[in-house]
Chains A and B, each alone.
Chain A
Amino acid sequence: MYGHERSLVQRLEGKPFALIGVNSDSDRDELKRVLVDERLTWRSFWNGGSTNGPISRAWKVTGWPSIWVIDAKGVIRYRGVRGPAMDQAVDTLLKEMGAL
């Protein structure tokens, strides 16, 4: 289920890259078990236990998952890229800064 994200993180280990989640689950303890079971190593913001939490509201996210790719200067460069398109977007930005 999280295979693609996991492989992306593993592939770019040591590069100026980070996968950051915004998690909207309701049960924190249950989520901690999922992180262990699924070997999810990346950090996630806690969205207040709801898909209607403060972060997703501020970002006007209404559909899940929602992927945003942000460059090293903090500028939003891509939205809604998934699968191979997400890898490609990240690679493009890393090449742009000479890190790939």
Chain B
Amino acid sequence: MAVTRLECPECGAVLKRAEGVPEGRKVRCPSCSSTFTAAADRHDPRDDNQRARSRRNADRDDDYDDEDDRPRSKSRGKKAKKQNPAVLIAVPIIGAVGLLAVAIALYMTWPEKDKGAVAVNNGGGIPAVRPAPAPAPVPKGGPAGPGNAAGVGLEIGQVAMEIDGEDIDGQRFKLSDYRGKVVVLDFWGHW
């Protein structure tokens, strides 16, 4: 009688041979390399059921990687337990340090840009309603003296910031066109 299902008495590995192994033949277990005699397995009568149940394991059994699987899964479990806490701590720390670095970089670059923009505006800020092809320089004069950026601005005693824009009809003119006259500048609206 040919045996299709063999169980190694040494390591318990289950070996299957569809073609069958003659009863009494010596078989070398591919799993633990021990030699045993093929004998009718007590599960043989229920082989069909067994096969159906262990279909998922059939491949593993045929490939003889039973031995490999078990230690691997064990070591995997150990590694996971050892690595996870370290990873859980390290990743947020690295992330936080990275975010902090980005935040510092932004903080250091933005205010400088703002300061630069304000400085330019104070120096010769020409608010134009439409971009002027060649903005006229702010006419110098007044008690502040030419070239003194602090002398141009919006405070009492400062030379008024230039206005270079257009009137209601779209005609361009400047506040400094009225130099030599007392000017009442009236921000208004008909509402």
Contact = CB atoms under 8 A, between A and B. Distances in A.
A21 B139 CA distance: 20
Given A23-B168, A76-B155, A8 B163 contact: no
A79 B187 CA distance: 12
A76 B139 contact: no
Main secondary structure of the interface of A (DSSP, over half): mixed
A37 to B, nearest CB: 10
B181 A18 contact: yes
Using C-beta atoms within 8 Å of the partner chain, give the interface range for chain B. 35 or more
Given A72-B179, A93-B182, A24 B188 contact: yes
A72 B180 contact: yes
Contacts of B190: 23, 25, 30-31, 34
A31 B181 CA distance: 26
A56 B186 CA distance: 11
Give the residue among B155, B160, B191 with the most A Cβ atoms within 10 A. B160
Interface of A: 5, 8, 15-25, 28, 30-32, 34-35, 43-48, 51, 53-61, 64-79, 86, 90, 93-94, 97, 99
